[in-house]
Amino acid sequence: MSRAIELATQRLRLRAWRASDRDAFAALNADPQVAEYLPRILDRAESDAFADRIEAFFESHGYGLWAVEVPRVADFIGFVGLSSPGFEAAFTPCIEIGWRLAKEHWGHGYATEAARAALSFGFEELDLDEIVSFTVPANRRSRAVMERLGMQRDVAGDFAHPRLPPGHRLREHVLYRLARDDYFRLRSQANAPRI
């Protein structure tokens, strides 16, 4: 397995992937509710191939889509992290922040908490100028996470996903951005003493 940089938050551990994560990952990817805003559910072979790509990205970059663990609660609940979209659009090349968690772990703030750690790593350790995120307009849960992170919708940047055919129900995407300067401004506001 890869020797990825690991991150920790108050409740979570963002770590390298293990072989033992694959069963839970396959179950997550086969869940129709998790895949509601994805092109399709994944079978076991597709899920394992996705995990292979995640690990290959870690091997070459040292970071990526971290496996998320809730110590003393669950060994693996999904992934959160940074990646490079594998398609061309007006805003690529770029670094994207994304997440996918098992449904039983929704509603606990885990995606936002883990994504804040990933953003911190991206801006403070990788010195990135910008991090983006995108989803379909109807995906209010993910959009709410983006907004809690301080990301701003770039209406002019909304796009038709090039890997989906015209007329596909998920082709239209909304784009959110967070610039380095805005990240540090938001961080300093969050740490400012309250009067």
| CATH code that applies to domain 7-191 | 3.40.630.30
Is the model's pLDDT at 6 over the cut of 90? yes
Instruction: Work out the mean pLDDT of the chain and round it to a whole number.
Output: 95
SS (H, E, C) the chain: CCCCCCEECCCCEEECCCHHHHHHHHHHHCCCCCCCCCCCCCCHHHHHHHHHHHHHHHHHHCCCEEEEEECCCEEEEEEEEEECCCCCCCCCCCCEEEEEECHHHCCCCHHHHHHHHHHHHHHHHCCCCEEEEEECCCCHHHHHHHHHCCCEECHHHCEECCCCCCCCCCCEEEEEEEEHHHHHHHHHHHHCCCC
CB count within 10 Å of CB 183 equals: 21
Q: Residue 2 has what pLDDT?
A: 43
Tens of pLDDT, residues 21-51? 999 999 999 999 999 999 999 999 999 999 9
Tens of pLDDT, residues 99-153? 999 999 999 999 999 999 999 999 999 999 999 999 999 999 999 999 999 999 9
Is the model's pLDDT at 79 over the cut of 60? yes
Q: What is the pTM of this model?
A: 0.93
Q: Residue 189 has what pLDDT?
A: 86
